[in-house]
Amino acid sequence: MGGVPLAVSFDDVRAAAARIEGLVHRTPVVTCAALDALAGARLFFKCEQLQRVGAFKFRGASHALSRLSPEQRAAGVLTHSSGNHAQALARAARDAGLSAQIVMPANSSPVKLRAVQEYGAQITLCEPTLAAREQAAAAVQARTGATFVHPYDDAHVIAGQGTAALELLSQAGPLDALVVPVGGGGLAAGSCLAVQGLSPGTRVILAEPAGADDAARSFAAGRRLAPDAPRTLADGLLTGLGELTWPILSAHAERVITVSDAQIIGAMRSLWERAKLLVEPSAATVLAAILNDPTRCLAGCERVGLILSGGNVDLDRLPFAAEGETRRG
Amino acid sequence: MGGVPLAVSFDDVRAAAARIEGLVHRTPVVTCAALDALAGARLFFKCEQLQRVGAFKFRGASHALSRLSPEQRAAGVLTHSSGNHAQALARAARDAGLSAQIVMPANSSPVKLRAVQEYGAQITLCEPTLAAREQAAAAVQARTGATFVHPYDDAHVIAGQGTAALELLSQAGPLDALVVPVGGGGLAAGSCLAVQGLSPGTRVILAEPAGADDAARSFAAGRRLAPDAPRTLADGLLTGLGELTWPILSAHAERVITVSDAQIIGAMRSLWERAKLLVEPSAATVLAAILNDPTRCLAGCERVGLILSGGNVDLDRLPFAAEGETRRG
């Protein structure tokens, strides 16, 4: 850690919150006694599945757009993504009156393609490899002059994502710990900065699928390691840590808890059945981490915040095994 | 209408809110641009699926218990119900340190039986007829002296249910109309009183399944009619209007919109997919009414409140037909 300057600060998160106020939902914080009983702590769920486009990604995209110069606005924005960031950028651009170009793999689900299209973005299809995505994005950029907005390794995006934790801390009151999912690390890094500025005594714990455990391995090695053939149902968390996000996480997050896909599905079912919170697998990692941590590092914590990252699931392909249980505590 | 004194007043609702503050959740109000676009109005969803036990019923039960005398508290409470009221009374009694006796039909789902049992209530099984339920309840009452708490035709229960609309009106700002589901009429009657007191210009519209349309027929006839072999997926709305609820509804509600089960399922799917709101069929009737009203009585309304009554569904038996669509506007 030491003296390396970080790309984003708490002041950046606070400034982002002021810039995107009114553009993004101030999402509710929900509690559920039945889940508290399971966890042995009071849990505060920050409901980013109720954010616009159903995911926290709308915060970072909105903030990045708010920082464009008039010249940049005229040329529009660009990204490559098959997930929530694509929808978030397309929708935020439409709201801001900008054009958006989205490079998407040709094997993206028709549902996601249609969603991006309905938000008025122009889609360029490419082969489903990172190289093909980057090449296609570069070609679109050369042609249009659009500004590329990275899904997580961008200072404005990180600052925007941090506003979710900023709100949670003011909504829930003092927290002993905050559990955040980690994929590329934009939400996690922004959350670290919010905590550092508002509540430095709150421990930040990262939740990660065991099938995409580059953050856990990076923490163990003390340096940023790349994903190694990641595979998990939590498809929002497949990406590796970024150049900007890793230094923030390594400086401020306490540790990473990895969870199996079966544990993620179990936690997701509990969130749906007990708390009536319709979240996607990536979001359920945070509850899975609390309920299944072999180190019991959160034992003794009385008040724990959890950021539920999103709720974009295919209702025709739910992962639940058949077993009945349908109420809320 | 005219001079008939009603069993409950706005002051009763306001007093109930003060008594149950801290016992019940102040549930969030959620908006969703995609559903606004479908409806052609700004919709404000009061999320009672996020209430304790997953339904507004917890409000009325908590309020009824708060009104018991010390002697009544010592003898405990009693109801017959196979639905959300059973869970609500069991849970509220546990919270208040009272004993609860619940008469349930022997063919109740194991999930619901287990839920009531987990809340510590004593269950008496009976045949699945109203006569058998009333007989069993009378026997329990004779033996224990427990106070019977009716699921809707009880002044304290009605006043308690009205606190949901009371909160919504203060959370959402001015509303042109409020749409509420109607079964026995406890929630609907309480909502009428809250609107009358806080915002008399707001129109109150009732939403009812076509397969259980006793409220629509009662409004047409100008007198309370009984259900006629009711049959609908919205199992929370099978009951007929009460002696106390009907006069309030006929005095204050504008009309009833009936919706088919197919329309209810479509609205439920939209609430899950677009708004990420996990609600049960009975709750989805309110959106179904707005989207499918043949009279278009809400055309021109700019701001419409909807009370989502609950979220207790069996995840292993979802009613959705296969058709994909998975995002939020």
The pLDDT value recorded for residue A322 is: 53
C-alpha to C-alpha distance for A178 and A41, rounded to whole angstroms: 12
Whether B167 is covered by a domain: the verdict is yes
For residue B203, pLDDT over 90 is answered with yes
The pLDDT value recorded for residue B72 is: 98
- Number of domains within chain B: 2
The tokens describing A77, both together, are 């924005």
For residue B95, pLDDT over 90 is answered with yes
Residues B65, B188 share a domain: no
Residues A218, A69 share a domain: no
Residues A82, A22 share a domain: no
Residues in CB range of A138: below 8 A, 6 or more apart: none
Contact B315 A273 (CB under 8 A): yes
**In the 8-state DSSP scheme, what is residue B20?**
H
Taking contacts as CB-CB distances below 8 angstroms, the residues of chain B near A325 are 111, 315
Neighbours of A170 (CB within 10 A): 14
Contact B110 A324 (CB under 8 A): yes
CATH number of A106's domain: 3.40.50.1100
The pLDDT value recorded for residue B57 is: 98
Place of tokens 């006069």: B247
The tokens describing B92, both together, are 């509220």
Contact A87 B322 (CB under 8 A): no
- C-alpha B299, offset from chain centre: 25
The pLDDT value recorded for residue A110 is: 84
- The C-alpha angle A245, A26, A52, rounded to 5 degrees, equals 75
Residues B288, B175 share a domain: yes
Of B28, B316, B326, the CB nearest to A314: B326
ipTM of predicted complex: 0.93
Residues A114, A211 share a domain: no
Q: Is B46 marked active-site?
A: no
Residues in CB range of B16: below 8 A, 6 or more apart: B59, B63, B156, B159, B160, B162, B163
- Which phi and psi (to 5°) does residue A234 adopt? -80, 80
The pLDDT value recorded for residue A324 is: 41
The residue out of B148, B163, B187 marking a domain boundary is B148
Residues A270, A188 share a domain: yes
For residue B326, pLDDT over 50 is answered with no
Residues B170, B34 share a domain: yes
Residues A89, A179 share a domain: no
Q: How many CA atoms lie within 13 A of B152 on its CB side?
A: 27
C-alpha to C-alpha distance for A110 and B5, rounded to whole angstroms: 59
C-alpha to C-alpha distance for A186 and A297, rounded to whole angstroms: 23
Taking contacts as CB-CB distances below 8 angstroms, the residues of chain B near A89 are none
Whether A4 is covered by a domain: the verdict is no
Whether B205 is covered by a domain: the verdict is yes
The pLDDT value recorded for residue B111 is: 80
Residues in CB range of B237: below 8 A, 6 or more apart: B181, B182, B183, B208, B209, B212, B282, B285
Residues A286, A137 share a domain: no
Whether B281 is covered by a domain: the verdict is yes
The pLDDT value recorded for residue A108 is: 86
- Alpha-carbon torsion angle B129, B135, B141, B143, nearest 10: -120
- The H or E element that residue A194 is part of is helix A186-198
C-alpha to C-alpha distance for B124 and B138, rounded to whole angstroms: 12
CA separation (Å) from B284 to A147, B237, B298? 42, 11, 17
The tokens describing B118, both together, are 């987990």
Question: What string of DSSP letters covers B131-167?
Answer: HHHHHHHHHHHHHH-PEE--SSSSHHHHHHHHHHHHH
Whether A315 and A23 have beta carbons less than 8 Å apart is answered as no
Q: Kind of pairing, strands B303-308 and B42-47?
A: parallel
Residues A183, A107 share a domain: no
The residue out of A148, A181, A197 marking a domain boundary is A148
Question: What string of DSSP letters covers A284-318?
Answer: HHHHHHHHH-TT-TTTT-SEEEEEE-B----TTS-
CA separation (Å) from B190 to A50, A219, B91, B249? 28, 55, 21, 9
Residues B196, B50 share a domain: yes
Q: Is A46 marked active-site?
A: no
Give the burial class of B221: count Cβ atoms within 10 A of its Cβ; 0-12 exposed, 13-18 middle, 19 or more buried: exposed
Q: Which residue among A46, A57, A108, A270 is the active-site one? A: A57
The residue out of A114, A130, A148 marking a domain boundary is A148
- Alpha-carbon torsion angle B174, B56, A54, A36, nearest 10: 130
Looking at every residue in chain B, the average pLDDT score rounds to 94
Domain span including residue B103: 58-148
Whether B326 is covered by a domain: the verdict is no
CA separation (Å) from A270 to A177, A278, B78? 21, 10, 29
For residue B231, pLDDT over 70 is answered with yes
C-alpha to C-alpha distance for B89 and B78, rounded to whole angstroms: 8
Neighbours of B200 (CB within 10 A): 9
Q: Chunked in runs of 10, what are the mean pLDDT values of chain A (329 residues)?
A: 78 98 98 96 98 97 98 97 93 97 90 89 92 94 97 97 98 98 98 98 98 98 95 94 98 98 98 97 98 92 98 91 46
Whether the model pTM is above 0.90: yes
Whether A112 is covered by a domain: the verdict is yes
Residues A84, A99 share a domain: yes
Chain B: closest CA distance from residue A49 (Å):
7
Q: Binning pLDDT at 50, 70 and 90, where does residue B322 land?
A: low
Whether A247 is covered by a domain: the verdict is yes
Whether A131 is covered by a domain: the verdict is yes
Taking contacts as CB-CB distances below 8 angstroms, the residues of chain B near A277 are 278
Among residues A132, A127, A162, A120, which one has the least CA distance to residue A7?
A162
